[in-house]
Structure 1
Amino acid sequence: MDTSRSLLPVGAAAAVVGLLILLPVVLLTLNNQAQPAQAGCAPVGGATGGVPEQYRAAVDAAAAEAGVPAALVAAQIEAESGWNPTAVSPAGARGIAQFMPATWADYGAGADPFDPDAGIGALGRYLKDLRGQVGHLAQSEAQRLELVLAAYNAGPGAVLQHQGVPPYAETANYVQRITRAAQLDYSADCIPVGGQILGDLGTGQWTHPLPGGRLTSTFGARPCPAGVPSCTQYVTNHAGIDLAGGGTVVAPTDLVIRAAGDSMPGHEYMGTFVLATMTENPELNFQFHHCAPGTLRVATGDTVAVGTPLCTEGASGNASGTHLHFQITTPAAPGDVPSREHAVDPRPILAQKGIIL
């Protein structure tokens, strides 16, 4: 954690302390029935993005200064102070953006820390500085924004040390919470921060690919997971997300199975796998790796409905433990063989369909 500034939302100190102890994970039970699909994304901010009218100009200016979406700045302010310009945290952070005095001295431009416009402006300058320090590690704008948030929470030194989002539960939670709020609460159109706009995702129903599972590793740069048999550049530059603890892997939407088996020559790292493509536009491709051998419930050529069981999560192939590697690639990638070149972060896509990991 960066001790130079407060990271605690006012009135939520106990909740954040709880994160440091490790939040309990509630696991859901999956039966053989298809799970109910989530509702589509409906941002609560409406056409204005949910930013209070008196702060919209300052938020837009800070976002332009930092080179980040206004929705991200708004989500951070909501998390830090709940838009309260007179907020003071138990640690001594002050104002709408919750700066500690030492950090305010560097970024406050001599203004009153309780001046909300000055606080929002200082946040923009601080985010710009962080972007300059860690942005070069990213391979996409979405990753760059996540690294900026990670640096804000854990400090830029931790991001540089781990060459990505540090493996801290609090930091991972913070990054996910802010990007989720930016998309779902402060955007007017549900577009994920950082882009990855794939067009209309269709009207079909979607569900969690591992119901009851928890997110254990995010998309993009990461340190080598402990216990992985072979730590290659493909492992440390994660082309998908990892989920664990759910048991049965299911079709997140209606799919045609392009390939499935206990091993694919030349791609043994996948272990037992399923490769599939959406049955409707935009025909995204899906990859499911590391299933338990002998648990496949589908075969090449099958067409399956949302929620159909595909396999059981396992530890086959190049896996460090029982989990599902879930990957989405654009239609530019082949659907019947694994591809990394056109991989996109699944979380904003799932969030657009109302599935929050």
Structure 2
Amino acid sequence: MDTSRSLLPVGAAAAVVGLLILIPVMLMMLNDQTPTAQAGCRPAGGNTTGIPEQHRQNVTAAATEAGVPTALVAAQIQAESGWDHTARSPVGARGIAQFMPATWEQYGAGADPFDPKAGIAALGRYMKDLRTQVGHLAQSEAKTIQLILAAYNAGPGAVLKHQGIPPYAETTNYVQKITRTAQLDYSADCQPVGGEFIGELGTGEWTHPLPGGQLTSLFGRRPCPAGVPSCNDYVTAHTGIDLAGGGTVVAPTDMIIRSAADSMPGHEYLGTHVLGTMTEDPKLNFQFHHCAPGTLRVATGDTVAVGTPLCSEGASGNASGTHLHFQITTPDAPGTTPSREHAIDPRPLLAQKGIIL
């Protein structure tokens, strides 16, 4: 963990709250969920994107300096201090961006750490420096943003050591929290930060893929789950999200079923599964793994509407307990077979359609 700055905000919810084990066989879940009142992805400030008026110009300038979206800088300040420029943390962090004294000496340009304009500007300089140190590891702008946030939380050395987001619960949670807050609270159009390569998700209706289910494991690096029959990089480099407790898996939007079977040769880890492709642009691909055997309610070649039951959540394939592994891959991915290389985090896309996990 980077000791040059505080990880805990003052006057706001903690940036990281650790792991909550929901059921023995599941993994981690964020305790500090976005309030349901924000569902629908409407920025807190409407057309002003939620940034306090007196700070908008400075936040925009800092984001430009760092080469990141304005919404991201705003989300960080919200997490660090709740926009309180007089904030102090128990460990000595100060000001609107909660810099520790040593780091302030490097990035504060000799200014008063409680000057909000100076604090926001220092944040921009620090983020720019982190981009320079870790940005070369990323293949997309969305991944670059995630690595910068990971370096901000855990230190650039940890990111370089792991050649990506370190497998620390607090760092994973921090990256998820900031990107989610940026999208839901500070984006004018609800686009995922750095996710513009996906484009518009179409006009069709979307729904929760496991109605009533709870998020139990995030996209990205994670520890090996207890009880998984085979733990390897395919398990620890999690290319989807896990949901549990809903019972019936449904189509998140109108889609064509590309594969529905109790097994797939060469991909036995899927177990009973459904693969599908959106019927409208951008024709994203969906994967549903570990369904209960014998519960398939669709067949290969079917065209189904949003909300159509697909199967029941289960523990088939390489699974440690009853849940759904839900995965989204880009339009260029093969739709008839699983793909890890094209996987993208489903949560920002679901949030764009007003589905808050």
Please confirm whether the aligned pair reaches a TM-score higher than 0.5, indicating the same fold: yes
Deviation track 1:158-200 (CA, whole Å, cap 9, x = no partner) reads: 4445444344443333222211111121111111101244333
SS in 2 for 1:290: strand
Deviation, 1:40, is 4.5
CA contact (8 A) 1:131 1:144 kept: yes
Deviation track 1:249-280 (CA, whole Å, cap 9, x = no partner) reads: 22212223221001112322322110112233
Distance 1:109 1:227, change over 3 A: farther
Residue in structure 2 matched with residue 35 of structure 1 by the alignment:
none
The one-letter amino acid paired with 1:77 is I
Deviation, 1:229, is 4.4
Residue in structure 2 matched with residue 54 of structure 1 by the alignment:
54
Picking from 10, 13, 16, the partner of 2:14 is: 16
Residue in structure 1 matched with residue 323 of structure 2 by the alignment:
323
Distance 1:340 1:171, change over 3 A: closer
CA contact (8 A) 1:209 1:252 kept: yes
CA contact (8 A) 2:250 2:308 kept: yes
CA contact (8 A) 2:249 2:309 kept: yes
Deviation, 1:75, is 0.7
Q: Distance in 2 between matches of 1:21 and 1:291?
A: 25
Residue in structure 1 matched with residue 104 of structure 2 by the alignment:
104
Is 1:334 aligned to 2:338, yes or no? no
The one-letter amino acid paired with 2:191 is I
Unaligned runs of 5+ in 2: 24-37
SS in 2 for 1:171: helix
SS in 2 for 1:177: helix
Deviation track 1:61-109 (CA, whole Å, cap 9, x = no partner) reads: 2222222211100111111112222222233321111112122122212
Residue in structure 2 matched with residue 33 of structure 1 by the alignment:
none
Residue in structure 2 matched with residue 347 of structure 1 by the alignment:
347
Deviation, 1:321, is 4.3
The one-letter amino acid paired with 2:128 is K
CA contact (8 A) 1:196 1:344 kept: no
Deviation, 1:241, is 2.6
Deviation, 1:285, is 1.6
Q: Distance in 1 between matches of 2:4 and 2:79?
A: 18
Deviation, 1:353, is 0.5
Q: 292-301 or 178-187, which moves further after superposition?
A: 292-301
Is 1:80 aligned to 2:93, yes or no? no
Q: Distance in 2 between matches of 1:8 and 1:68?
A: 22
Residue in structure 2 matched with residue 244 of structure 1 by the alignment:
244
Q: Distance in 1 between matches of 2:21 and 2:232?
A: 31
The one-letter amino acid paired with 1:203 is T
Residue in structure 2 matched with residue 120 of structure 1 by the alignment:
120
Q: Distance in 1 between matches of 2:236 and 2:141?
A: 18
Deviation track 1:222-261 (CA, whole Å, cap 9, x = no partner) reads: 5655554445554454433333343332221222322100
SS in 2 for 1:54: helix
Aligned length: 343
CA contact (8 A) 2:285 2:333 kept: yes
Percent identity, aligned pairs only, is: 80
CA RMSD of aligned residues (A): 2.9
Unaligned runs of 5+ in 1: 26-37
Deviation, 1:126, is 1.9
Q: Distance in 1 between matches of 2:72 and 2:313?
A: 34
TM-score by length of 1: 0.84
CA contact (8 A) 1:255 1:278 kept: yes
Q: Distance in 2 between matches of 1:240 and 1:214?
A: 14
Residue in structure 2 matched with residue 43 of structure 1 by the alignment:
43
Q: Distance in 1 between matches of 2:15 and 2:85?
A: 23
Distance 1:165 1:222, change over 3 A: farther
Distance 1:65 1:226, change over 3 A: farther
Is 1:219 aligned to 2:219, yes or no? yes
Q: Distance in 1 between matches of 2:62 and 2:16?
A: 31
CA contact (8 A) 2:41 2:185 kept: no
Residue in structure 2 matched with residue 28 of structure 1 by the alignment:
none
CA contact (8 A) 1:288 1:325 kept: yes
SS in 2 for 1:306: coil
Q: Distance in 1 between matches of 2:15 and 2:39?
A: 32
Distance 1:223 1:165, change over 3 A: farther
Residue in structure 2 matched with residue 187 of structure 1 by the alignment:
187
Q: Distance in 2 between matches of 1:168 and 1:156?
A: 14
Q: 158-167 or 258-267, which moves further after superposition?
A: 158-167
Q: Distance in 1 between matches of 2:262 and 2:335?
A: 17
Distance 1:174 1:233, change over 3 A: closer
CA contact (8 A) 1:46 1:187 kept: no
SS in 2 for 1:172: helix
